[in-house]
Structure 1
Amino acid sequence: MKALVHLLSRTKLYWGLLLICLIGALISPHTSSGHNIFLSYGNLTDVLRQVSITGLVATGMTMVILLGGIDLSVGSVMGFSTVICAMLLTKPGWTSASVMGVPAAILVGGAAVALAARFVFAGLARGRYVSAGRRREVSLTRWQSMGIPGLLGLLAAIAIGWWTMNQVPAKFGVLGVLLIAPCLAMVLGGINGLLIVAGRLQPFIATLAMMVSALGIARLTAGSDNAVVPVYTGTNATEAFELLRSMLWGVLPVPSVFFLAAICLFGAILRFTTFGRYAYAIGGNIEAARLSGIKVAQVQLTAYLLSGLLAGIAGVLFVAQYRQGKPDAGTGLELDAIAAVVIGGTSLMGGRGGLAGTFVGVLIFGLLSDILQLQNIDSNVQLVMKGLIIVCTVLVQEQNLGQLVARWRFRRSGEAQADPRTAEPHRPPSAAKAQLAREDLDEAS
């Protein structure tokens, strides 16, 4: 029995998802032919498409929250990425978007290649291999283990610079915007990380400042006359961009493929790599992690870089979905992402949770919105209901609901015992002793 209760406690999130699906199926309206609208394949794929943008942002947010941090800037960073993507698609020549985007792509792309090569060559320098029954060290000089990755990064930066500059006279294509917009978003995420790591700012303050700044940069980039940058594939933008909003082999929406790939990739990183173990250790106790020799600053900086990267990809998918770039496209998105992460069981204190729970939390949020819309419930009422559900979910996930009920029951029982109609009056110890003494004297006499 205890094992069953423990299993139900560990899987309560998945039972909650199943319960929401069951409620949606039972109360869903039906078509004229009798088909359940909620369970229809088209409706479920639409839900998956709609939650993909929030899911990508929530994936990056999970890694930040596991470290005990927070990133309030992801919504503004995503809005900035939509403006960059829309301008690159629709405006040829050297615009403000390309002037910022090309150097960022060269810098980030070259650094990423150099860093990846550095890990590979550092592993080779420490590794051993077996040949003809003998174990032999792989000997690499210091120049080989450090200079070769730097050379590869430089070559990658030159290649990216040559390719992107050839794109500037005409309009950028799909690969161009998928390269430049996330790289610019990574730069903003890197600034967040540097403010926290080097500037010793609290994550709340640093990312709050970036949230405001990124919104202003996005508006300046778009221009005062362009509150919205429209994107019409086949007219002012390449028709190939339509690929990002299509169905992959007629089975899954392309945005959901990005979301699922991010969940699988970063879920594996958190579970099977040293970065993941370090993230949980830092979130559990940052001082103990630092004293254990973990490079806390590098892990924190990497988490904020990845959060910016995923927000940039979400911005490109937003443009593909809604055919426009808006500086305020991500307003409130950071709150939805945090809510999905918390519903998924990741503790805001850090050190506990994971991307499997975040995936379920994103689905719960999306299915709940879909059910409320199918019932034609007022949008303001939907916001109130979502808030209540978030509070109740966190109470259950943090196991505070049981403690709250236990305290309430204990208080009620205490009041019942103190009720003079149901309990004997309380006497101080001295009065009780005096009464016993008088009774003894009476008996003796």
Structure 2
Amino acid sequence: MKALLRLLSRTKLYWGLLLICLVGALTSPHTSSGNNIFLSYGNLTDVLRQVSITGLVATGMTMVILLGGIDLSVGSVMGFSTVICAMLLTKPGWTTAAVIGVPAATLVSGVAVALAARFIFAGLARGRDVSAGRRREIALSSWRSTGLPGLLGLVVAIAVAWWTGNQVATKFGVLGVLLVAPCLALMLGAINGVLIVTGRLQPFIVTLAMMVSALGIARLTAGQDNAVVPVYTGTNATESFELLRSMLWGVLPVPSVFFLAAIVLFGAILRFTTFGRYAYAIGGNIEAAKLSGIKVAQVQLTAYLLSGLLAGIAGVLFVAQYRQGKPDAGAGLELDAIAAVVIGGTSLMGGRGGLAGTFVGVLIFGLLSDILQLQNIDSNVQLLMKGLIIVCTVLVQEQNLGQLIARWRFSRSPEASADPKTAESCRLPSAAKAQFAREDFDEAS
């Protein structure tokens, strides 16, 4: 019996998803032919398409929160990416988007290849973090560890500059915007990471400043007269961009493929790689992680880089789905992403959670919105219900609901009124109870 209860406790998130699906199936309206609208394949794929953008952002947010951080800038970064993507698709020549985007893609591509080559040729860096008192040790020669990776990075940077530069005169295609927009978002994420790591600033303050700054940059890039940059495939944009909103082999929406690929890839990274183990260790106890030789600064910087990168990809998918670029396209998206991550069981204190829970949390959020819309419930009531569900879900995930019920039941019992000291101890947290127990022991001694 205890084993069954433990199993139910570990899988309560999945039972919650099943319960929402059951409620949706039972309350869904039916078509004239008697088919259940909620369970129809078209409706389920539409839900998966709609949650893909939030899911990509939530994937990056999960890695940041696991480290005990937060990223409030992802919504504005995504909005900036939509503007860059829409302008590159529809405006030929050296516009503001091209002037910003081409050098950014060149720099990021070259540096990324150089770092990847250094990792391959030089092997894993060994030793403690510099801040812990010991420098890294690399066994291979300086040419293979520095010169060759730098040369490869330079070659790739020149190739990217030539390729993206040739697209400026004739508008960008699908591959072009999938390269440039995420690279720009990655650079904004890099600024977040550098300020947090080197400036030793709180992630909340840094990412809040970036949220405001990215929105301003997006509006300046779009121009004062362009609150929306429309994208019409086949007229002012290439017809091939329609690929990003189509169905892959008639089975899955292409945006959901990006989302599922991100969940699988980064889930495997967190589960099977050193980076993942370091992320959990840092979120659990950052001081202990530093003393054990973990390169805390590198892991934190990488997490914010990936968060920005995924927000940039989400921006391109937003343009494909809604056919427009808007500076405020991601307004409130950071809150939806954080809610999905927390519903999925990732602790805001860091060190606990994972992308499997985030995936379920994103689906719960999407299915709940779909159920409320099918019932034609007022949008304001939907917001209220979502807020209540978030609070209740977090209470269950943090295992605080049972404690609240136990306190309420005890406060109504005769024992509570007969012994005020016992009732007071039930309302105290465990740390305070331990302190009072030690004081009672000292008095008795």
Q: Give the TM-score normalised by structure 1.
A: 0.90
Q: Is the 8 A contact 1:125 1:145 kept in 2?
A: no
1:114 equivalent to 2:121? Answer no
* Structure 1 segment 47-86 matched on structure 2, within 5 A: 47-86=47-86
- Deviation per CA, 1:292-323: give whole Å up to 9, x if none: 11110110000000000000000000000000
1:172 alignment partner in structure 2: 172
1:404 alignment partner in structure 2: 404
Cα distance in 2 for residues equivalent to 1:30 and 1:181: 42
Q: Secondary structure at the match of 1:316?
A: helix
Q: Secondary structure at the match of 1:55?
A: helix
Q: Secondary structure at the match of 2:123?
A: helix
Q: Which 4+ residue blocks in structure 1 deviate beyond 4 angstroms? A: none
2:221 alignment partner in structure 1: 221
* Structure 1 segment 296-315 matched on structure 2, within 5 A: 296-315=296-315
2:95 alignment partner in structure 1: 95
Q: For residue 124 of structure 1, report the CA deviation from its aligned partner.
A: 8.4
The residue type paired with residue 417 of structure 1 is A
- Deviation per CA, 1:145-184: give whole Å up to 9, x if none: 2211111111110110110111111100000000000000
Q: Is the 8 A contact 1:190 1:305 kept in 2?
A: yes
Q: For residue 418 of structure 1, report the CA deviation from its aligned partner.
A: 6.0
The residue type paired with residue 365 of structure 2 is F
2:366 alignment partner in structure 1: 366
Cα distance in 2 for residues equivalent to 1:78 and 1:5: 42
2:426 alignment partner in structure 1: none
Cα RMSD, aligned residues only: 1.4
Q: Is the 8 A contact 2:241 2:320 kept in 1?
A: yes
CA 73–31 in structure 1, closer or farther in 2 if over 3 Å, else same: same
The residue type paired with residue 57 of structure 1 is V
1:328 alignment partner in structure 2: 328
* Structure 1 segment 139-158 matched on structure 2, within 5 A: 140-158=140-158
Q: Secondary structure at the match of 1:46?
A: helix
Q: Is the 8 A contact 2:343 2:361 kept in 1?
A: yes
CA 125–198 in structure 1, closer or farther in 2 if over 3 Å, else same: closer
Q: Secondary structure at the match of 1:241?
A: helix
The residue type paired with residue 77 of structure 1 is V
The residue type paired with residue 208 of structure 1 is L
Q: For residue 403 of structure 1, report the CA deviation from its aligned partner.
A: 1.1
The residue type paired with residue 367 of structure 1 is L
* Structure 1 segment 8-407 matched on structure 2, within 5 A: 8-123=8-123, 140-407=140-407
Cα distance in 2 for residues equivalent to 1:170 and 1:331: 31
Gaps of 5+ in 1: 127-138, 420-445
The residue type paired with residue 17 of structure 1 is L
Q: Secondary structure at the match of 1:329?
A: coil
Q: For residue 140 of structure 1, report the CA deviation from its aligned partner.
A: 4.3
Cα distance in 2 for residues equivalent to 1:290 and 1:337: 29
Q: Give the TM-score normalised by structure 2.
A: 0.90
CA 125–208 in structure 1, closer or farther in 2 if over 3 Å, else same: closer
Q: Is the 8 A contact 2:122 2:144 kept in 1?
A: no
Cα distance in 2 for residues equivalent to 1:215 and 1:375: 35
Gaps of 5+ in 2: 127-138, 421-445
Q: Secondary structure at the match of 1:185?
A: helix
Which has more radius of gyration? Answer: 1
Q: Is the 8 A contact 1:184 1:312 kept in 2?
A: yes
- Deviation per CA, 1:50-97: give whole Å up to 9, x if none: 000000000000000000000000000000000000000000000100
The residue type paired with residue 101 of structure 2 is G
The residue type paired with residue 340 of structure 1 is A
Cα distance in 1 for residues equivalent to 2:146 and 2:12: 48
Cα distance in 1 for residues equivalent to 2:39 and 2:379: 22
Identity within the alignment, %:
89
Q: For residue 123 of structure 1, report the CA deviation from its aligned partner.
A: 2.4
More off after superposition, 398-407 vs 42-51: 398-407
CA 216–70 in structure 1, closer or farther in 2 if over 3 Å, else same: same
The residue type paired with residue 48 of structure 1 is L
More off after superposition, 146-155 vs 70-79: 146-155
Cα distance in 2 for residues equivalent to 1:363 and 1:125: 39
The residue type paired with residue 188 of structure 2 is L
Cα distance in 2 for residues equivalent to 1:19 and 1:410: 30
Q: Is the 8 A contact 2:79 2:328 kept in 1?
A: yes
Q: Is the 8 A contact 1:125 1:140 kept in 2?
A: no
